[in-house]
């Protein structure tokens, strides 16, 4: 009886064209990471609706899609009351627009969006962009998230992962069936916008960290490394670039950020939606993160031809081959980070350039954003060929 009622409601709100809803936690991520996908969906004739929390970037998205709708969501941990309204919000937007497929990004949209698809019998494509704090440090939240993921992803049509470690973890813990999984090259990178350029070699070497100002990105280790390096190499420069004072359980207090800047070891450049000029001005891009999906900042740095120093953890190590296009250090270790920075400083100008050239080759071969868009569009094409949304055995082979 329930599903008959739902089908009547969907017929009542039937709209022309196949409707795809793109749901993510806030508009900034959609604009910066999914814009090319939105454009490709529109070119393929889909009616595209973005469902996201408004943060100022929704106005930029309105020019790219058919509709942008606000998403009620809290990014400060799990709250049953808030999360229930998130579920209801996604449910009604999908029902009233008679969505055929929902593309889901970030933790809560993935979990509650997949549950909505079960109730509405529409297709879901989830992207696990990274496992976040809950999987870095095991706690009761980790156990709860695992249960939610397992229930939500059971029955999903396709689940994309940005690195094999995350996928293997989900499979080994029984959270998802291997047959519906597939690896994507991160969110991809615009190889034209982030074109290769040779770094200008000066006496003042610049290390740049691009990330949200949260502890899990290894910002504290970067600051400590800056303190040590500046004493031995006073001509070096250290910069932080990315949003601060954000809704996250591991957000770095503004007071702490101010203390670091006042110490004179580094600069805080603030937030921007155009990181390209900052990458071009740097000599090395650093990300001492504790765990990632596939960090877009590192892909963009490699595309421009900047050597990378990052941690030997899931997501980060996929972008760097040690001694080829950068260096890997140990997570949560400022001394290991210092060692790799000193190694970079000791290189000659041609050796630094060689690292950058190898990074560009890597992203050209594996990480173009066109590859990511093609994966999504080929998945949607299979849905059209199989109206029930089920993948054939040959389709499931793509998960390898």
| Nearest CA among 99, 104, 111 for reference residue 29 | 104
pLDDT band at 80 (very low <50, low <70, confident <90, very high): confident
As given in the structure block, the two tokens for residue 1 are 């009886």
Q: What order of strands is seen across the sheet that includes strand 308-311?
A: 267-268, 237-241, 206-210, 284-287, 308-311, 326-329
Q: Can you give the pLDDT at residue 220?
A: 95
Percent of the chain whose pLDDT exceeds 90: 65
What is the C-alpha end-to-end distance of the chain, expressed in Å?
A: 39
pLDDT of residue 26: 87
Q: Using 50, 70 and 90 to split pLDDT, how confident is the model at 325? A: very high
Contact yes or no for 244/257 (Cβ under 8 A)? yes
pLDDT at 379 over 60: yes
Segment 6-24, tens digit of pLDDT:
454 445 445 556 899 999 9
For domain 2-188+368-399, give the CATH number. Answer: 3.40.50.2000
| Among the ranges given (154-168, 276-290, 378-392), the one the predictor scored with the smallest mean pLDDT | 378-392
Residue 395 has pLDDT above 50, yes or no: no
Name every residue whose Cβ is closer than 8 Å to that of residue 118 and which is 6 or more positions away in sequence: 155
Counting every residue written for the chain, the total comes to 400
CB atoms within 10 A of CB 36: 17
Least confident of 6-20, 26-40, 114-128: 6-20
Domain segments of the chain: what residues?
A: 2-188+368-399, 206-366
DSSP class of residue 264 equals: T
pLDDT at position 142 is 77
Per-residue pLDDT band for 187 (boundaries 50, 70, 90) equals confident
CATH of domain 206-366: 3.40.50.2000
Q: Which residue has the tokens 């290189």?
A: 347
Per-residue pLDDT band at 290 (split at 50, 70, 90): very high
CA distance 82 to 75: 10
The token duo for 301 is 């740095």
Predicted pLDDT at 143: 82
Same fold, 2-188+368-399 and 206-366: yes
pLDDT tens, position by position, 262-278: 999 999 999 888 999 99
Bridge partners of residue 310, in order along the sequence: 287, 328
Q: How far apart are CA 316 and CA 288, in angstroms?
A: 9
């Amino acid at each position: 009886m329930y599903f008959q009622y739902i089908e009547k409601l969907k017929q009542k709100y039937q709209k022309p064209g196949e409707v795809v809803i793109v749901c993510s936690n806030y508009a900034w991520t959609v604009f910066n990471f999914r814009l090319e996908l939105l454009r490709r969906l529109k070119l393929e004739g889909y009616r595209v609706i973005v469902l996201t929390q408004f943060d100022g970037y929704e106005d930029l998205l309105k020019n790219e899609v058919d509709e942008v709708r606000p998403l009620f969501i809290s990014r400060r941990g799990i709250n049953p009351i808030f999360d229930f309204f998130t579920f209801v919000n996604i449910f009604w937007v999908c029902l009233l627009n008679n969505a055929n497929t929902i593309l889901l990004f970030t933790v809560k949209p993935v979990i509650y969006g997949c549950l909505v698809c079960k109730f509405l019998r529409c297709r879901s494509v989830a992207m696990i962009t990274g496992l976040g704090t809950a999987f870095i440090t095991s706690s009761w939240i980790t156990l709860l998230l695992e249960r939610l993921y397992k229930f939500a992803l059971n029955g999903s049509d396709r689940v994309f992962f940005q690195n094999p470690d995350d996928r293997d973890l989900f499979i080994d813990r029984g959270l998802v069936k291997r047959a519906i999984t597939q690896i994507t090259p991160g969110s991809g990178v615009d190889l034209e916008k982030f074109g290769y350029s040779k770094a200008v070699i000066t006496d003042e070497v610049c290390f740049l960290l691009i990330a949200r100002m949260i502890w899990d990105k290894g910002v504290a280790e970067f600051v400590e490394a800056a303190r040590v390096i500046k004493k031995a190499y006073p001509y070096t420069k250290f910069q932080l670039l990315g949003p601060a004072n954000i809704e996250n359980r591991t957000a770095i207090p503004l007071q702490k950020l101010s203390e670091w800047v006042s110490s004179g070891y580094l600069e805080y450049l603030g937030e921007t939606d155009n990181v390209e000029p900052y990458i071009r001005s740097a000599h090395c891009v650093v990300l001492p993160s504790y765990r990632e999906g596939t960090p877009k900042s590192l892909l963009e740095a490699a595309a421009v031809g900047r050597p990378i120093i990052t941690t030997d953890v899931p997501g980060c190590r996929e972008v760097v081959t040690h001694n080829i296009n950068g260096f890997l250090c140990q997570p949560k270790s400022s001394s290991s980070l210092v060692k790799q920075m000193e190694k970079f400083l000791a290189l000659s100008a041609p050796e630094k350039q060689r690292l950058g050239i190898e990074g560009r080759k890597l992203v050209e071969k594996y990480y173009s954003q066109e590859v990511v868009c093609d994966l999504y569009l080929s998945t949607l094409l299979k849905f059209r060929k199989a109206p029930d949304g089920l993948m054939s055995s040959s389709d499931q082979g793509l998960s390898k």
